[in-house]
Amino acid sequence: MYNILVCDDEKDIVSALTIYLTTSGYQVFPAYDGTEALALLEKEDIHLVLLDIMMPQLDGIATMTRLREKSNVPVILLTAKSEDTDKILGLNVGADDYVTKPFNPVEVLARVKSQLRRYLQLGGGTVRPTALRLGGVALDDRTKEVTLDGEPVSLTPREYEILRLLMQNPGTVFSPKRIYRTVWGEEPFGVENAVAVHIRHLREKLEINPSDPRYIKVVWGQGYKMEGGKL
């Protein structure tokens, strides 16, 4: 059973979504503002968040920003038609998708299933080990922490997801298009530069000498792979 956090200051919306989701077999955790949502994320094993943008105290954008500092859990924004600017901002700070109010419950459930499927493919579920290690690089998918030789490393959500993908498949070569399709969840068109930039940033954070990497290797003409860093 997957746990869904539903956060909206309108209790009728939370109640309606709870009915739709529980009927489909999900466990629902309700929250009515951003502060409550962040507290639940600290206590519970949440697999997906449905998050309203316009809320009192701590709105959806601020909540989204704080959430992404610690978690890569999928987030679907609940937006009004008049909130296009905020919708774009929410996507820019790390939201994965959005549903416009008034929403169709069938559409909500379809988007929830799609995001959960992607999350599991990236190793977000319990089907994969939560602790990964290659040489001096360690990744804890439960706490979303990465360390290098015991020292914490700060990664962006995209960098984290790329690293996790490579660490889950040591020695496997991933083309830029495959990395983009898996991490971004979109069809790749002219994506080589975007992936190369993220790989470069990862190397700068994980390699002693980024120009002669021990961990993240390039296979010319094919893509990237991760190895254990043996000298």
Q: Which domains does the chain carry? A: 3-121 (3.40.50.2300), 131-226 (1.10.10.10)
pLDDT, mean of residues 3-26 = 93
CB 73 within 8 A of CB 96: no
**What confidence tens digit (pLDDT) does each residue in 29-81 have?**
999 999 999 999 888 888 999 999 988 888 888 898 888 877 888 999 998 86
Of the chain, the end-to-end C-alpha distance in Å amounts to: 43
Residue 85 one-letter amino acid:
T
**What confidence tens digit (pLDDT) does each residue in 174-231 have?**
999 888 888 887 777 777 788 999 999 999 999 988 888 889 999 988 999 998 765 4
Q: Of 61, 12, 60, whose CA–CA distance to 33 is shortest?
A: 60
82-88 long-range Cβ contacts below 8 angstroms, 24+ apart: 83/53, 83/54, 86/53, 86/54, 86/60, 86/61, 87/53
